[in-house]
């Protein structure tokens, strides 16, 4: 099905099932520990062996000698894989560095060997006996030092401009010119990267933890020089990903290589310390923002430049993209520069680009409002736009940012905020409020599905869509139930298997909207087949309460499949609506913090997100996504930072003891409001995504609240107490 124009008659609009806050279908499996994750597939493999990856001990250079003799003699060892005996490997297009290093080393903890043994303990012990001699070479590990050597990246539209920014900024009566930094960050998901591989002849099956099944199949096949049809990936349950599992990683490739060499199924999981340096991370940024405005607050010039680093061939962190669209202003520039760094690969992490970009932009907006002596909320509302500021002939399909601000301000009690910092106390705590816009573009991806109807009226949906804790099982079941006029408990959803039609996958906030639209398309085809069997036109059949109603007669849904299962398959492909309309999602984030007047300790006291993100398919799971994102925003604002050893070229705090993330005690009650919105230009579901929108802007709202509480402006994230304690107002 090609989606080129909004549907006029749409079964989804009935909202009997879609839009309801249903419990997660997979909830009982998750809470009882019976959901089979990749490393736990004891039900599908027998005589399994275990692999332990050896990572490079240097960040850049080459292997001179790798001695495996002692490791091979260790108890239980079956085989050891290195670049020397792995055979000729290709390289998937989704990875920057090769997944099995040697002799050249691209980054610290790049996999250089896999030891396979009868037991996990034997493999781990033997891996310690692999002896490697290196010839290190000098690397580049400091973004600030390499900033002046950064180049224009090869990515599409790294720079944009409109009007005459330089002249307009120079002439503006009120100006801001400030630099902000965000650190390297880790995905830190609960489930590690893990895979179980099994060969049957020249056909490979890998049970893995991967967000994008079709991408993974393609890259694994290319790396192993196999036909794509000979590779099957299965990933029904994923314990978190945040973008870290979008692409094929070392453990999946090495499990496959180890299983082929050992002639047994092999399990491989990355240890937590190896995840931080072997896999991807969110790259650090340096961002310069300049804003010029009239004295009455109208922005006349806005410029945003960003520098980030990556391995050779990698992409930059596009932290300027939201600035192209969020606020009005006739004269504007954005620029992105990429420095060559020899750190582990930088790549997508929840809301890549906008998350760190909003951390800077929305603090700059507050700083500018203060210069103008304006309420920061009113300053943002004043500079709202209904068109793409760089392409004024293209309107937003929906843009309700101002309504988000106004609803949020009323609900949060924004009128009680004191404009002058440091004026509100609660005992020893300095109290402040902060606000920030939330913004994330609405992306759509082609997505396919297969639906089956049996004689009992059971609908089975098959698609390789994944559920990374977001509720895909449930919203897909809701979509199929709505389309076929039945109950959710009459729908079986099967996900995460490359034997099923290729879907959008989970990433970029496109998963829910695109994947359900693919199920919608398959159900439309199933409805057409049913109508043919009833010898009526599709619009003459009503699907309701598990029954078919046509020309005055009623039949159970399974009636038409009494003599055999009916199968329909289709794929949603999006037309040019995203070219004709700018499609984005919006939010307003409000935060109240307390800053200890003596120690600088910051505590988040209240949080509110008001979101405008199209139709909300399941308010319960959508709220869960937003509060998870808000929690992630607290981490980014106050604690998350990968510390770079700038001599050795690695992340020092590569475990969950040294890399701090929020825990329950750090998070207050979080309030989430969804505006009642549908966007027919987005998809037949009229939905958008919320999982990344809930993160974008949160950290800036916290930073702004800290300033309002203490009068201390910090432009370097995370805002740890050492950046506050020497500047706190004198305790009274």
Predicted confidence (pLDDT) per residue in 541-561, tens digit: 999 999 999 999 999 999 999
What pLDDT score does 156 carry? 87
Task: Specify the number of domains making up the chain.
Answer: 2
CATH number where 16 lies: 3.30.365.10
Return the bridge partners of 588, or none: 437, 610
What pLDDT score does 236 carry? 96
List the structure tokens of 390.
Answer: 């760089």
- Model confidence band, residue 43 (pLDDT cutoffs 50, 70, 90): confident
- 599 with 550, same domain? no
| Cα angle, residue 563 at apex, residues 558 and 566 outer, rounded to 5° | 60
Choice between 579 and 23, residue whose per-residue pLDDT is larger: 23
Q: What is the CA radius of gyration of the chain?
A: 27
- 591 with 723, same domain? yes
**Residue that is last in its domain, among 578, 599, 633:** 578
Rounded Cα distance between 263 and 79, Å, is 10
Q: Are 316 and 338 in contact (CB under 8 A)?
A: yes
672: left (phi over 0), alpha (psi -120 to 50) or beta: beta
CA 196, 201, 202, 203 torsion-angle sign: negative
Whether 646 shows a pLDDT value over 70: the answer reads: yes
- 438 with 457, same domain? no
What pLDDT score does 7 carry? 62
**Residue that is last in its domain, among 578, 608, 626:** 578
This prediction has a pTM of: 0.97
- 626 with 699, same domain? yes
- 475 with 548, same domain? yes
CA distances from 338 to 96, 182, 250, 716 (A): 14, 15, 25, 20
Q: Which of 608, 630, 704, 703 is nearest to 413 (CA)?
A: 608
- 520 with 415, same domain? no
- Model confidence band, residue 2 (pLDDT cutoffs 50, 70, 90): confident
Residue 308 gets which letter from DSSP? Answer: E
Asked, for residue 367, whether it belongs to a domain, the answer is: yes
Asked, for residue 462, whether it belongs to a domain, the answer is: yes
Strands (E), 209-354: 231-234, 266-269, 285-293, 299-310, 331-340
* Residues recorded for the chain: 732
Q: Which of 403, 569, 692, 730 is catalytic?
A: 692
- 434 with 453, same domain? no
What pLDDT score does 731 carry? 61
What pLDDT score does 8 carry? 61
- 533 with 602, same domain? no
Asked, for residue 625, whether it belongs to a domain, the answer is: yes
Asked, for residue 456, whether it belongs to a domain, the answer is: yes
- Model confidence band, residue 44 (pLDDT cutoffs 50, 70, 90): confident
Asked, for residue 92, whether it belongs to a domain, the answer is: no
| Cα angle, residue 424 at apex, residues 418 and 425 outer, rounded to 5° | 170
- 603 with 657, same domain? yes
Whether 5 shows a pLDDT value over 80: the answer reads: no
Q: Per residue in 225-278, pLDDT tens?
A: 999 999 999 999 999 999 999 999 999 999 999 999 999 999 999 999 999 999
Q: For a pLDDT cut of 70, what percent of the chain falls above it?
A: 99
Q: What is the overall mean pLDDT for the chain?
A: 96
- 552 with 649, same domain? no
Q: Is the peptide bond before 721 cis (omega within 30 degrees of 0)?
A: no
- 363 with 489, same domain? no
Q: Per residue in 48-100, pLDDT tens?
A: 999 999 999 999 999 999 999 999 999 999 999 999 999 999 988 898 999 99
Choice between 679 and 392, residue whose per-residue pLDDT is larger: 679
**Residue that is last in its domain, among 537, 560, 578:** 578
Asked, for residue 121, whether it belongs to a domain, the answer is: no
46 catalytic residue (yes or no): no
Segment 328-344 mean pLDDT = 98
Asked, for residue 295, whether it belongs to a domain, the answer is: no
Whether 125 shows a pLDDT value over 80: the answer reads: yes
Asked, for residue 172, whether it belongs to a domain, the answer is: no
Rounded Cα distance between 480 and 325, Å, is 35
Give the residue numbers spanning the domain of 457.
Answer: 2-35+444-578
- 546 with 467, same domain? yes
């Amino acid at each position: 099905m090609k989606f080129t124009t909004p549907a006029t008659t749409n079964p989804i609009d009935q909202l009997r099932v879609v839009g309801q806050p249903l419990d997660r279908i997979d909830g009982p499996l998750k809470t009882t520990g019976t959901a089979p994750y990749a490393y736990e597939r004891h039900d599908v493999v027998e005589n399994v062996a275990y692999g332990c990856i050896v990572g490079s001990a240097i960040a850049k250079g080459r292997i001179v000698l790798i001695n495996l003799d002692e490791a091979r003699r260790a108890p239980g060892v079956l085989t050891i894989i290195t670049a020397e005996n792995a055979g000729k490997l290709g390289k998937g297009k989704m990875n920057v560095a090769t997944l099995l290093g040697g002799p050249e080393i691209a980054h610290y903890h790049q996999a250089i060997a896999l030891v396979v043994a009868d037991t996990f303990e034997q493999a781990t012990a033997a891996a310690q006996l692999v002896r490697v001699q290196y010839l290190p070479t000098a690397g580049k590990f400091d973004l600030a030092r390499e900033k002046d050597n950064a180049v224009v990246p090869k990515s599409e539209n790294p720079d944009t401009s409109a009007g005459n920014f330089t002249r307009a900024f120079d002439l503006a009566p009120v100006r801001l010119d400030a630099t902000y930094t965000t650190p390297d960050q880790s995905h830190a998901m609960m489930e590690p990267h893990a895979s179980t591989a099994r060969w049957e002849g020249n056909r490979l099956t890998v049970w893995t933890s991967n967000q994008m099944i079709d991408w993974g199949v393609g890259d694994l096949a290319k790396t192993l020089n196999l036909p794509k049809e000979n590779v099957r990936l299965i990933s029904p349950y994923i314990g978190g990903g945040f973008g870290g599992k979008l692409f094929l990683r070392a453990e999946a490739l090495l499990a496959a290589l180890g299983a082929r060499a050992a002639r047994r199924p092999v399990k491989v999981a990355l240890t937590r310390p190896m995840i931080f340096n072997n896999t991807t991370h969110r790259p650090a940024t340096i961002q310069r923002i300049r804003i010029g405005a009239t004295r009455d607050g109208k922005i006349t010039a806005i410029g945003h430049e960003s520098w980030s680093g990556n391995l050779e061939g990698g992409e930059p962190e596009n932290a300027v993209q939201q600035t192209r669209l969020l606020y009005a202003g006739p004269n504007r520039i954005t620029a992105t520069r990429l420095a060559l760094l020899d750190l582990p690969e930088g790549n997508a992490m929840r809301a890549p680009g906008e998350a760190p970009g909003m951390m800077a932009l929305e603090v700059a907006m507050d700083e500018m409002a203060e210069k103008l002596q304006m309420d920061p909320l009113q300053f943002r509302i004043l500079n709202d736009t209904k068109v793409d500021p760089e392409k004024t002939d293209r309107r937003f399909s929906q843009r309700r940012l101002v309504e988000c601000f106004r609803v949020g301000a009323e609900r949060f009690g924004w009128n009680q905020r004191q404009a002058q910092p440091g004026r509100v106390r609660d005992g020893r705590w300095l109290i402040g409020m902060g606000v920030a816009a939330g913004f994330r573009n609405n992306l759509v991806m082609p997505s396919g599905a297969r639906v089956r109807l049996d004689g009992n009226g059971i609908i089975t949906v098959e698609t390789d869509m994944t559920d990374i804790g977001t509720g895909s099982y449930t919203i897909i079941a809701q979509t199929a139930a709505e389309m076929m006029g039945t109950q959710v408990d009459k729908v079986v959803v099967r996900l995460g298997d490359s034997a099923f039609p290729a879907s959008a996958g989970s990433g970029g906030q496109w998963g829910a909207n695109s994947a359900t639209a693919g199920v919608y398309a398959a159900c439309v085809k199933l409805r057409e087949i049913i109508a043919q069997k009833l010898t009526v036109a599709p619009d003459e059949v009503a699907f309701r309460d598990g029954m078919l109603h046509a020309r005055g007669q009623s039949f159970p849904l399974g009636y038409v499949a009494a003599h055999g299962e009916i199968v329909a398959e289709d794929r949603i492909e999006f037309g040019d609506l995203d070219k004709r309309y700018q499609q984005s999602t919006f939010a307003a984030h409000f935060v109240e913090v307390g800053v200890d007047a003596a120690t600088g300790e910051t505590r988040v006291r209240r949080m509110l997100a008001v979101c405008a993100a199209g139709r909300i398919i399941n308010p319960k799971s959508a709220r869960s996504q937003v509060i998870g994102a808000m929690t992630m925003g607290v981490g980014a604002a106050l604690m998350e930072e990968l510390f770079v050893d700038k001599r050795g070229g690695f992340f020092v705090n590569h475990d969950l003891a040294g890399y701090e993330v929020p825990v329950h005690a750090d998070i207050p009650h979080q309030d989430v409001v969804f505006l009642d919105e549908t966007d027919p230009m987005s998809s037949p579901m009229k939905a958008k995504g919320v999982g990344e929108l809930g993160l974008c802007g949160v950290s800036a709202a916290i930073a702004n609240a800290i300033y309002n509480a203490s009068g201390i402006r910090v432009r370097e994230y995370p805002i740890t107490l050492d950046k506050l304690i020497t500047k706190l107002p004198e305790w009274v």
